[in-house]
Structure 1
């Protein structure tokens, strides 16, 4: 039962917070028509950020008290955050190069 509750919590976090993050970033991409076609990179960046936040903070406040709960290593966290930032910037780069 706890596992099901934790899965529902993860789903809620990713759908609600991912949707809110996407709404904020989508407005930035609609300013330039060339970036709208590549805005899915921003959506992917939001989910990568949520993954890092969940693994480093949110998993320790849920219903699951399993054995395998560990934070991401610092190197992995920094790499994923850098990747997320690059994914947010990529539509602007591709929009200017390919238009």
Structure 2
């Protein structure tokens, strides 16, 4: 294969890998969190979208800081997020995970 064809295939494989990572890790984490929230009596129907965004942020930080370096794509632009950005995103994700509990108590 030529260099450009090989890079195109590697990029496609990495995109498929990213999709699987988000679906598998996101699905497992979402299922676990829904179970925890239901056991705590938190309304998952109205606040599930907050948990979705929190999981998305967590997986995004995980991918950018760790998983992208073990994939098929070897091109340019592969670097970790700046530390402050990672911290802001992680704190935001934790806040979004706690917010459904706070909102369900306030609404009741």
Question: TM-score, normalized by length of structure 1?
Answer: 0.94
Stretches of structure 1 that go unaligned for 5 or more consecutive residues are none
1:18-73 residue CA offsets vs partner (Å, 9 max, x unmatched) = 00010110111213555222122112211110000000000000010011111000
Question: 1-side partners of 2:92 and 2:103: how far apart?
Answer: 16
Question: 1-side partners of 2:42 and 2:21: how far apart?
Answer: 31
Stretches of structure 2 that go unaligned for 5 or more consecutive residues are 1-8
Give yes or no for the alignment of 1:8 onto 2:16. Answer: yes
Question: TM-score, normalized by length of structure 2?
Answer: 0.86
Q: Which structure: larger Rg?
A: 2
Regions of 4+ moved over 3 Å: none
Instruction: Give the corresponding residue for 1:89.
Output: 98
Question: 2-side partners of 1:14 and 1:65: how far apart?
Answer: 20
Q: Kindly tell me the number of residue pairs found equivalent between the two proteins.
A: 99
